[in-house]
A and B are shown apart, each in its own frame.
Chain A
Amino acid sequence: MNEQTQLAGISRRRFLGWTALLSAAVSLPARVWAWARPEAAFAATGIDTALAGLGGTPTVHDAIQFTTPDIAENGAVVPIRIEVDSAALPNVSKVSVLVEMNPNPMAAVFDIAPDTEVYIETRVKVAQTCNLYAVVEADGALYMQSRETKVTLGGCGG
């Protein structure tokens, strides 16, 4: 059965010693990276302060395709997708996701390498029905798209 569980190179036998192995294998934390986590934006408790932490007020740009569900089955996991048409908006270097009504609206920032696609998929927590923002930085300017996602009570209500 071992070959069947070789997912992404992690066999069962390797998994058994995985935790110990990790501390040795992964010693390349943030310090050696050239970019930095925008701490002010992450610490912000309101959408305006969070945007200020990213560098200002973005303008709406149609080259940003921001996909979120209109209605989410559960706020704990809301799938999002951000795609930028690089012909219409070139040189995108950063992509950010913000959730307006979360205690800390800043959810994630992605630094995009110069010669790659601008395409990000992830899942975020959405505390209540509100607007989600996709903000991108290109040539030092900020652009955005926003979408409302409804968060519903799916179960027995208790």
Chain B
Amino acid sequence: MIKKWAWLIGILAMPALSDDGIFDEYRDLMGDDNPAIFVIDEGEALWFEPQGPRSASLEGCDLGLGRGVTAGAYARFPRYFEDTDTVMDIESRLLHCMQQLQGRDRDTLLAKPYSLRGDMGTELEALVTWLAAESEGAVIAPEQVHPAERAMYALGEEVFFYRAGPHDFSCATCHEQSDMRIRLQALPNLTEHQDAAETFGSWPAYRISEGLVRTMGWRLQDCFRQQRWPGLKLGSEVSVALQTYMAVNAAGGVMTAPGLKR
């Protein structure tokens, strides 16, 4: 549920990961106002807007809790869906609904899922942001019932430690130790519950460096860019597996997204 004054009363607080307090003064001055509030509105409007050849809204979309149920749905991803017989993250589930319900073309939808420089946001970013806000305060509880869901966790763990590329980087290079930072950026230890919960629960997030809301799918793509790896496909097994790995490690934590990050 969206709280009327959430953007002003501290619910969208910055994560408290260790950076030796060097930015405390900066963050104090920044306060809690989060421009993601605009994107939440935009996403909500898009959810109810009839679109595509079938002129349908997304209200018939089943995000795992039943058709049209949005409250708390984000906090249960990634999860297995019978109709596709795959484990999906929220982004690939939304794309699935846009194709199935609205009759929209997958390639067109995938042409620019995330904002480029100079953009104010994409449809997918807005929808994910609103859905995350619909899970604000919900407990992170990804399904780990179906064998495919458990296999996704195992795959995610394996990929997390996989070293490759000219710099020999894996996810673990930066994210298997606690209280570390890169330059001045605090690095969460994603193998550990507390940091994983704080991190997973605060995406999507408004990035003040870009003036945009970014999603977890984008976050993973950009991590791999900086790892000097090739391009990660949206909704691919590796993307869903790593989100599962993080979500399961974060399970029991609380959704605070959309977050506010540098």
Contacts and interface: CB of A to CB of B under 8 A. Distances in A.
Query: Which size bracket describes the interface of A in this complex?
Result: 20 to 34
B45 A155 contact: no
Contacts of A73: 23, 26-27, 184, 208, 262
Contacts, number: 82
Given A73-B23, A74-B262, A6 B29 contact: no
B51 to A, nearest CB: 13
A5 B27 contact: no
B91 to A, nearest CB: 22
B183 A155 contact: yes
A10 B29 CA distance: 27
Contacts of B4: 4, 6-7
B44 interface: yes
B117 interface: no
A5 B23 contact: no
B184 A153 contact: yes
Nearest to A75: B209
A79 B26 contact: yes
Contacts of B30: 77, 79, 123
A71 B23 contact: yes
A71 B26 contact: yes
Interface in B194-215: 208-211
A76 B209 contact: yes
B22 A155 contact: no
Would you list the 10 A-B pairs with minimal beta carbon distance, nearest first? A79-B29, A69-B26, A77-B208, A73-B262, A156-B226, A73-B23, A74-B209, A154-B185, A154-B184, A74-B262
